[in-house]
Amino acid sequence: MSSEKQTQAESGKTVFVKTYGCQMNVYDSERMVSLLRPLGYRTVENAANADLVILNTCHIREKAAEKLYSDLGRLRRTKAESARDMTVAVAGCVAQAEGEEVAERADIVDIVVGPQAYHRLPEMIARAARRTGAVLDTDFSVEEKFDALARNRDADGVSAFVTVQEGCDKFCTFCVVPYTRGAEISRSAAAIISETRALAQAGVREVTLLGQNVNAWTSPAPAAGYGVKARKDGAWGLGELCRAIARIDGVARIRFTTSHPRDMDEALIAALGEEEKLMPYLHLPVQSGADRILKAMNRGHTAADYFDLIARIRAARPDIALSGDFIVGFPGETNSDFEETLALTEAVCYASAYSFKYSRRPGTPAAILAKQVAEDEKDRRLAVLQALLKEQRDAFCAGLVGETLPVLFERPGRKAGQLIGKTPYLQSVHAYAPDSNVGGIAPVRIEAVTPNALAGELAGAADEGRPARMKAGDAQEPRV
Ligand code: SAH
Ligand code: SF4
Ligand code: F3S
C-alpha cells in the first residue's frame, strides 16, 4: 500500500462485519466491504472499534435467527460504551424475512437491508446518518445487485467465490430460502467469465461457483462462445459454464455448490468426468432416505432416483468424494423412515456431510403439519446419523493416508513453517513448506488424519502458482 493510501485509509471510517449462514452470505459480506472501501471504510476485527457494524444474518433454522437477537443485545452494550457514533445494519435473510420486526424489536438497528439491495447500502448509510429512524430496503432486484457488487471486487486470496445464481424455485416444504432469496435467477455467462478472468489475473487459482441451486444455472449461449459447444437448444447449463471457466488461464481448480439432485443433468455429469480442473467433490443434499418423507418435503425425487444419479456420477468420475445435507425429525418421520435414511447413508458412503434437526420455520408449509417429532427423539436420531457420518468421513480420510495428492496451498498455518492447503477432495492439509508455495499446487504425501484436517509431507515442487507480478505482494492490485 502506498503511504498516501495508507493515510487516507487510517483517517477514514471503520466497518465490522459478522457473517452467519451459508457461503452466499460470505460472498455478499465480501462484496459489501468492497463497496464501502471507496467511501473510505476499512475493516476492523472488533465491533467496539467500528463506525458501522453489519450483521449479515441467516434465517435457515430457528437457532440461527435467534443468534441475531442475542448479538444485538450484546451490541447495545458495546455501542453504549463506544466513543463512536456507531451505525448498526442488519443484512441477510433475517432482514429479508422479518426486517420490520427487527427494526421494531431492536431500537439500536439503523439499517435493515435485504440480500437483493446491498448495492444501495452507501445511499442507506447516508440516510441513516440523518438519524430519522431505521432505514429499510428489502426490494428484490437481483440482476442489478449482481453486477453492481461485482464491479468493486478485490481479490485477496488463492480461492474465491463467484455467485452465478441466486434464489430458489423448489419450495421444499421445510425451507425459508425461496422466501428470503426470491426466485431462481442466473447471472449472465459473460459477466461470470469476466469476473473470473479478473480474479485469475489477480492470482486466484480456485473458484467456487455459488448458487442456492447452482446447477439450475442456465443462460443463452454467449455470442463469444468461449470455445465451448452450445447445446442443441442454444443454451448453456452449468456444465458448459464450467468448461468455459476451465479455459481461463490461471484458474487451476473449479468447484460449485450447492447442487440439487433434480438439476444434475448429463452435460454437467459429463463435464465432471472430462474436465480435469473440475474437482472430484460434489455436495449433493438428499435430506432423507425415505420416499414418503422426500415426497412430504417436496424434494421431487425418490431414494432410487438419488441412487441412480450417484451411480451415473461415479461412472463418470470414479474417485468423486460425495457430501450431503440431512434433516432428521421432519414432521411425520417415523423410526422406520429414519432407518431408511441410515440405509441410504450406508449405501452412498459420504466423504463429508452436514446434518440437522428439523427446525420449524414460520410461514413454511411443514411448520403447520401435524405429527411434529419430539425434540429428544430428534436428538437421538441426529446422534445416530452423525456417528455413522463421522465413521464414513474418518474412513474416507484414512483411505488417503499414504497417497500423494496435489494440494493447493492457501495460507500459513499456526505453526512456524507450516502451510495450510486443500486436497482435490476438499480436506484441509497441514504440511511444512516454504511460504513461496502459497498459491501453488504441490504434491503432498498424506501421513495422518487429525480431527479436522490431514497432515502431510511435501513430496515435490509447487507449480508456478500466482502470476509473478502478484508475488511482489501489492495487496492493492489489481481492482476489478
Ligand atoms: N439449496 C440447498 C441448501 C439450502 S439450506 C439445497 O437444496 O440443498 C442448507 C441445508 O439446511 C439444507 O440442505 C437442509 O439440510 C438444511 N435446512 C434447511 N431448512 C431447514 C429446516 N427448516 N430445518 C433444518 N434444516 C434445514
Ligand atoms: Fe431450500 Fe429446497 Fe431451495 Fe434448497 S432446494 S434452498 S432446501 S427450498
Ligand atoms: Fe441462511 Fe439465507 Fe444462506 S437463510 S443458509 S443465509 S440463503
Amino acid residing at 344? L
Condensed to tens digits (0 to 9), the pLDDT of residues 357-387 reads: 999 999 999 999 999 999 999 999 999 999 9
Q: Could you identify the atom of ligand 2 that is nearest to the CA of residue 287?
A: 7
- pLDDT at residue 472, as a whole number: 34
pLDDT band at 65; cut points 50, 70, 90: confident
Q: CA geometry: angle at 58 spanning 40 and 189, to 5°?
A: 70
**CATH topology match: 3-139 vs 144-327:** no
Condensed to tens digits (0 to 9), the pLDDT of residues 176-221 reads: 999 999 999 999 999 999 999 999 999 999 999 999 999 999 999 9
* CB 113 within 8 Å of CB 442: no
- For ligand 1, mutation pick of 175, 258, 259, 382 (most atoms within 8 Å of CB): 175
Residue 2 has pLDDT above 60, yes or no: no
Which has more pLDDT, 254 or 106? 254
Residues lining ligand 1, judged by CB closer than 6 Å?
Answer: 60-61, 174-175, 177, 212-213, 258, 260, 285, 287, 325, 327, 356, 358-359, 361
Among the listed residues 108, 99, 40, 44, the one whose alpha carbon sits nearest the alpha carbon of residue 74:
108
- Whole-angstrom Cα distance, residue 115 to residue 184? 14
Over residues 271-285, the mean pLDDT reads: 97
CATH 3.80.30.20 fits domain 144-327: yes
Task: Take atom 12 of ligand 1 and give the residue whose Cα is closest.
Answer: 325
Residue 476 has pLDDT above 60, yes or no: no
pTM of the model: 0.90
CATH class assigned to 3-139 = alpha beta
Among the listed residues 233, 138, 216, the one whose alpha carbon sits nearest the alpha carbon of residue 179:
138
Computed over every residue of the chain, the mean pLDDT equals: 90
Task: Take atom 6 of ligand 3 and give the residue whose Cα is closest.
Answer: 58
- pLDDT at residue 141, as a whole number: 67
* CB 16 within 8 Å of CB 130: no
* CB 233 within 8 Å of CB 251: no
- Whole-angstrom Cα distance, residue 158 to residue 421? 10
Any idea which residue has 507450516 for its cell? 418
Task: Take atom 5 of ligand 1 and give the residue whose Cα is closest.
Answer: 60
3-state secondary structure of 218: strand
CATH class assigned to 404-458 = mainly beta
Over residues 73-93, the mean pLDDT reads: 92
Task: Take atom 18 of ligand 1 and give the residue whose Cα is closest.
Answer: 175
- Whole-angstrom Cα distance, residue 440 to residue 253? 11
Residue 67 has pLDDT above 80, yes or no: yes
For the chain, the structural domain boundaries read 3-139, 144-327, 404-458
